[in-house]
Amino acid sequence: MTSHRIIDLVESEGVDLSRRRFLTVSAAVGGGLLIGFRAGPSIGAADAAQSAASPPFTPNAFVRIESDGQIVLTMPYVEMGQGTYTSIPMLIAEELEVDLKQVRLKHAPPDEKLYANPLLGVQATGNSNAIRGAWQPLRQAGATARLMLVSAAAKRWNVDAVSCRAEKGEVIHAASGRRLKYGALVADAAKLPLPAPESVTLKQVGHFKLIGTPAKRLDTPAKVNGTAVYGIDARPPGVKFATLAQSPVFGGRVKSVDDAKAKAVKGVRQIVRLDDAVAVVADHMGAAKKGLAALTIEWDDGPHAKLSTQDIAAELEKATLQPGVVAQNVGDADKALASAVTRVEATYLVPFLAHATMEPMNCTVHVRKDGCEIWVGNQAIARCQAAAAKITGLPLEKVVLHNHLIGGGFGRRLESDGVARAVQIAMQVEGPVKVVWTREEDIQHDMYRPCFFDRLSAGLDDKGMPVAWNHRFAGSSIIARWAPPLFVNGLDPDTTEGAIDLTYSLPNLHVEYLQVEPPGIPTAFWRSVGPSHNVFVTESLIDELAAAAKQDPVTYRRALLDKAPRAKAVLELAAQKAGWGKPLPQGVGRGVSVQFVFATYLAQVAEVEVSKDGAVRVRRVVCAVDCGTVVNPDTVRAQIQSAVIFGITAALHGQITLKGGRVEQSNFHDYRMLRMNEAPVIEVYIVNSTELPGGMGEAGTSAIVPAVTNAIYAATGTRVRKLPVADQAKRV
């Protein structure tokens, strides 16, 4: 068992701005990348020479090479299980010409300028686009550093740089047999001018040593022996432990608190009262929980005291009777529908969903007069820093944030509400305090995947093929709150993804969206976000059309994919590997889905068994994926396996309901997770491709939901138009 700590959690002290040149990356209009360089505040050889110790070589914000040869890569994306702490280093190491074993990783500090995802424009790990965002700039970062190290060696040997090459952390001059380790070249390389970006050439596909070859995950050893440090494991000296009760109704307030009994609990130190929450600070979480249970809190429920999810769904349904904002229009769907031979109409409803990350929400904060220090695992730490600065009134640079491994993100930790809450509490506490939410608090005060209502109508011609497709849906826009500039004219790219960009050839397509925010209920990104809703609806409807046309679901889809060869290829591969068409026993059915979301093509075939009492068991899932160039193949497999389980959980059981303004679910007994004995066999087939990489973290979740419900239809004749499946599959 290795005890080597690859992930250096100590190194999050910030960036040394004095001697660093930045590789600047920004999003270009239209989604492309602009890559350039800019100098740091005071830079240059003179500055480096003044330093007593030999300074590390830091050609950009991602690479640092110490004079002892230690290579430190700064990770702008956070590790939450998706393998980014292996695949991102692979991109840098590929071009830097070092072994993964030679590198140490450090979490990037909050810095929107240095560490923004070029595709999002903010420092965030989400939307399955770490690899897509990093693909060009981080290879460029590695190549730039390598080029400078080679130049430094060539200069020292007085040879032409083109006669030298880099390999395994050394520069080699083959003709003379001379070689120098990177560490020995650090001082010289730091004095060189930064090469122009256009002079840095990246390796061509086919020359990769690391990319495309399975790499052992760098974070695994620490995750099997208890040494991996998540936010919840942070222990600054003198830390106290707190847990909290927030208003059970969103928007409610604390009316009164009787804390006499709580204060008598051994180990309880302090009761912190906020406007809308009460926290108990103690020597350990056990005492804090006991103290919390001993509190008598009277709440003023506020305006949402009568809110129910039934009312919200009814509101959304009503909204879809009116026209929405046109999100997509091809041809004339109404006209085509009027002359269609067959007409299919359907409505769909998807529920609110909680994230239920295994690591409950938590954050450790130490507020001092002159600064604030935060320990947390978060997908968007610059936002957390900004939130803390706002609450404390401190300048941004006085808020130091240490990021950590994340025990499940799924979009929950793109939000800073947990940090804000902990800072509010910490402002009343002397010394550092770790605020940990109970599971009940975590589920009942999540920010939820929105509920959506969809109204659709489609028309078929005399051969059963679709000539008209009308889709109107209503629900929350997360982007409108999270990134307002991206919400333009009532539309955003996430809420509509998977609804407006279908892979099928549909001559007349019309899609409308209505932003309807549920009162009081905070909504947020959730694994596969927009597609988690849209792909369920569209892949269900196409299945309905195939059924109306009395055609096989795979054959029907394939006929509509002539203009989408990559989609067609994954469909055919999945169908073939799944044995599509082979006979199945009574009560067992196969369902299929095809999608192009997160820049990845994915087809899935689910094999589902429905018992007489309606219990649904997913037996087998076959996945065919074309995600372009693969960086770490085993991670692609792992992400699909993971996303499939996540999606089945939601499809079969997932729903958050409100009654009297209160979330009815509270823990894993009523917010069920798929378990070992229920997990299907999952097969993943990867299509060889040299296209640009696509996203892999979320695609599997949106694809599996309709594959499962379509399989239930095949097995029982019951069309599931409302999630979760729950007991709808009862056979009659």
Partner 1 sequence: MPHTLTINGTARSVDVDDDTALLWVLRDVLGMTGTKFGCGVALCGACTIHIDGKPVRSCITPISAVVGKRITTIEAIGATPAGKKIQRAWIELEVPQCGYCQSGQIMSAAALLAAKPKPSDADIDTAMSGNICRCGTYARIREGIKRAAHVTSDKKGA
Instruction: Find the binding residues for partner 1 in span 512-571 (CB under 8 A).
Output: none
Please name every residue paired with 329 in a beta bridge, in sequence order, or none if there are none: 510
Burial of 137 (0-12, 13-18, 19+ CB in 10 A): buried
In the complex with partner 1, which residue's Cβ is closer, 680 or 693? 680
Rounded CA-CA distance 565/570 in Å is: 9
Report, in Å, the least distance between residue 638 CB and partner 1.
6
Q: Which lies closer to partner 1 via its Cβ, residue 290 or residue 510? A: 290
Rg of the Cα atoms in the chain: 27
Instruction: Compute the least distance from the CB of residue 91 to partner 1, in Å.
Output: 19
Site string (443-482) toward partner 1, x via CB under 8 A? ----------------------------------------
Q: Does 507 bind partner 1 (CB under 8 A)?
A: no
For residue 330, the one-letter residue type is V
Tell me which of 683, 719, 722, 730 binds partner 1, using CB under 8 A. 683
- Give the residue with the Cβ less far from partner 1, 135 or 685: 685
Shorter beta-carbon distance to partner 1: residue 359 or 415: 359
| CB 412 to partner 1: min, Å | 11
Binding to partner 1 by residue 286, rule CB under 8 A? yes
The DSSP code sequence of 607-654 is EEEE-TT--EEEEEEEEEEE-SS-S-HHHHHHHHHHHHHHHHHHHHH-
Least distance from partner 1 to the Cβ atom of residue 82, Å: 7
Binds partner 1 (CB under 8 A): choice among 272, 295, 405, 423 = 405
Distance of closest approach, residue 288 Cβ to partner 1, in angstroms: 9
Spell out, one character per residue from 603 to 642, where the chain touches partner 1: x when CB under 8 A holds, - when not.
Answer: -------------------------------x--xx--xx
Nearest CA-CA partner of 239 in 117, 373, 137: 373
**Using CB under 8 A, which residues numbered 56 to 85 contact partner 1?**
80-83
- The tokens describing 517, both together, are 């925010």
Q: Is 101 in the site for partner 1 (CB under 8 A)?
A: no
Residue 1 touching partner 1 (CB under 8 A): yes
When the beta carbons of 379 and 716 are compared against partner 1, the nearer one is 379
Q: Cβ of residue 46: shortest distance to partner 1, in angstroms?
A: 46
Please tell me the count of residues contacting partner 1 according to CB under 8 A: 71
Q: Are 626 and 688 within 8 A, CB to CB?
A: no
Q: What distance in Å separates the CA atoms of residue 77 and residue 126, rounded to the nearest whole number?
A: 9
Answer for which of 17, 341, 681, 692 binds partner 1 (CB under 8 A) is 681
Q: Find the shortest distance in angstroms from Cβ 621 to partner 1.
A: 8
Among 684, 696, 708, 723, binds partner 1 (CB under 8 A): 684
Among 708, 325, 703, smallest CA distance to 533 is for 703
**Coil vs helix vs strand at 442:** helix
Answer for the pair 114, 163: CB distance below 8 angstroms, yes or no.
no
Cβ proximity of 718 and 608 under 8 Å: no
Stretch that binds partner 1, among 55-63, 352-360, 539-547, 718-726 (CB under 8 A): 352-360
According to CB under 8 A, which one of 169, 407, 498, 693 is a site residue for partner 1? 407
Q: Give 116's contacts (C-beta < 8 A, 6+ positions apart).
A: 25, 26, 76, 122, 123
Which residues, 198 to 217, sit near partner 1 by CB under 8 A? Answer: 216-217
Binding window for partner 1 (CB under 8 A); candidates: 58-66, 102-110, 303-311, 351-359? 351-359
H-type helices in 44-195, by residue range? 45-50, 84-96, 112-115, 130-157, 182-191
> Quick one: which of 185, 436, 460, 514 contacts partner 1 (CB under 8 A)?
436
What is the smallest separation between the CB atom of 615 and partner 1, expressed in angstroms? Answer: 16
Name the residue among 617, 394, 663, 173 with its Cα closest to residue 386: 394
> Could you say whether residue 645 binds partner 1 (CB under 8 A)?
yes
Q: Which helix (H) or strand (E) holds 318?
A: helix 309-319
- 27, 396, 486, 673: which one contacts partner 1 (CB under 8 A)? 673
Contact positions with partner 1 (CB under 8 A) in 651-670 = 667-669
Q: Compute the distance between CA of residue 368 and CA of residue 420 in angstroms, rounded to an integer.
A: 16
Q: What CA–CA distance (Å, rounded) separates 552 from 575?
A: 12
Burial 401-419 (b: 16+ CB within 10 A, else e): bbbbbbbbbbbbbbbbbbb
Q: Look at residue 386 and give its three-state secondary structure.
A: helix
Q: Does position 720 bind partner 1 by CB under 8 A?
A: no
* CB-nearer residue toward partner 1: 403 or 641: 641
505 binds partner 1 (CB under 8 A): no
CB 701, min distance to partner 1, A: 10
Minimal distance, residue 33 CB to partner 1, in Å: 28
Beta strands 600-610 and 616-626 are: antiparallel
**Taking the CB of residue 425, how many other CB atoms lie within 10 A of it?**
25
* Residue of 232, 506, 537, 605 that binds partner 1 (CB under 8 A): 232
Residue 590 binds partner 1 (CB under 8 A): no
Nearer to partner 1 among residue 61 and residue 80 (C-beta): 80
Candidate residues 360, 432, 628, 661; the one interacting with partner 1 per rule CB under 8 A:
360
**Using rule CB under 8 A, residue 230 touches partner 1:** yes
- By beta-carbon proximity to partner 1, the closer residue of 577 and 722 is 577
Q: CB–CB of 502/561 below 8 Å?
A: no
Parallel, antiparallel, or unpaired for β 178-181 and 268-273?
unpaired
Q: How many CA atoms lie within 13 Å of 334's alpha carbon, on the beta-carbon side?
A: 3
570-593 as b/e: b if 16+ CB within 10 A: bbbbbbebbebeeebeeebbbbbb
Smallest distance, partner 1 to C-beta of residue 284, A: 4
Q: Fill in the per-residue mask, 2 to 21: x = in contact with partner 1 (CB under 8 A), - = not in contact.
A: --------------------
Round to the nearest angstrom and report the end-to-end CA distance of the chain: 56
Subset of residues 244 to 273 that bind partner 1, contact rule: CB under 8 A: 265-267
- Which of residues 534 and 635 has its CB atom nearest to partner 1 in the complex? 635
Residue ranges in 339-477 assigned as alpha helix (H): 381-392, 417-426, 439-444
Q: Is 550 left (phi over 0), alpha (psi -120 to 50) or beta?
A: left
Stretch that binds partner 1, among 172-180, 399-407, 456-464, 534-542 (CB under 8 A): 399-407
